[in-house]
Amino acid sequence: MKAKILAVCFTLPFVCLVIWTVSLAWQRNHGPEVKVAVMGYDPRDLLSGHYIQYQIDWARTDCTQFKANRCPEKDFCKEARWGRQCRFYIPENKARDLDELFRKRNDTDIKFEVVYSYQPGQKAVAKQLLINGQDWRKALP
């Protein structure tokens, strides 16, 4: 009996992790896509390890792609003390190039957007970072 309980105790966390991962993958791959404009969260610390931090620029986002033509701001990103913090994970070896390009956007006409998989009433899942309409990996020098 103890062996069965022990087996369940060790297996249950793994099963829960697999179910959670599959549900996130399902949401990411089967939700309708929306594009939102982004701006730096903190220009001094845009890159932190393997991700960039940003805020969604709702003033430059086309809200007609959402239900009732209203931007569902609370469904995007994580609530923090200083507003909503968003993250997009990238390889660390590309961080410097992306940071330089982001800092140049004020001097040039560079547009940053993030493609999300979004189902109304659920948290949006970031899928892709776009620079001037193309994937960030193709836009970097």
Q: CA-CA distances (angstroms) from residue 47 to 8, 14, 65, 87, 111?
A: 41, 32, 29, 10, 18
Q: 49 Cβ partners below 8 Å, 6+ apart? A: 92
Residue 15 and residue 1 share a domain: yes
Residue 101 and residue 47 share a domain: yes
Full domain range(s) for residue 22: 1-30
Residue 70 and residue 15 share a domain: no
Average pLDDT score over the chain: 80
Residue 128 and residue 105 share a domain: yes
pLDDT tens, position by position, 69-103: 888 888 888 776 666 778 888 887 887 787 777 77
Q: Quote the tokens at residue 8.
A: 């369940």
In which band, very low, low, confident or very high, does the pLDDT at 44 lie, cut at 50, 70 and 90? very low
Query: How far is residue 97's CA from residue 109's CA, in Å, rounded to a whole number?
Result: 17
Residue 132 and residue 70 share a domain: yes
Residue 21 and residue 44 share a domain: no
Q: What is the pLDDT of residue 19?
A: 93
Q: What is the pLDDT of residue 45?
A: 47
